[in-house]
Amino acid sequence: MNNKILVKDVMWEKVDIVNGKITVKKALDDMQYKRTKMLLVDKFHENDEYGVVLIADIASKVIAKDRALERINVYEIMNKPVVSVRPNMDIRYCAKLLTRLGLSRCPVIDNDKVVGVVSLTNIVLKGLRV
């Protein structure tokens, strides 16, 4: 890889952000409909941070503890602040960061707004073809 490939070259830009007040049941419905394992959770106010809910969070914090999907809100189980990268980051550094933290994907944030999501899959499959 001699030429520099950036996160913005391999990220997907279609990102849906949910409100943290939705129930875990609604979040699961969204995940199934969108065929995703991750939902980004919007900020509650200007000085807040984005959050993230993964399938693993629902499994460990709701299902394994026998909690009702309809009675738990996403904000109760989300991880916050979310680990994010910049669109102009070299994919080599992004890959190092994600693997070091044990993550498979993360949001791409520019000027305090989510502009996409990057995954190790996209880095490997698209990064080698750009």
- Checking if the pLDDT of 36 tops 90, the result is no
Mean pLDDT for 71-80 is 96
Q: How confident is the model at residue 35 (pLDDT cuts 50, 70, 90)?
A: confident
The pLDDT value recorded for residue 129 is 64
State the residue for tokens 């991880």: 79
Q: What angle do CA 104, 18, 42 make, to 5 degrees?
A: 85
- Across residues 60-64, what is the average pLDDT? 95
CB atoms within 10 A of CB 17: 15
Q: Which two tokens stand for residue 72?
A: 């738990």
- Please report the domains of the chain, with CATH numbers, ordered by start residue: 7-127 (3.10.580.10)
CA dihedral for 67, 69, 71, 74, sign (positive or negative)? positive
| CA pair distance 87, 6, nearest whole angstrom | 7
111-129 pLDDT tens trace:
999 999 999 999 999 877 6
pTM of the model: 0.85
pLDDT at 78: 96
Taking phi first (over 0 means left), then psi (-120 to 50 degrees means alpha), and beta for anything else, what does residue 93 get? alpha
- Looking at residue 61, its amino acid is K
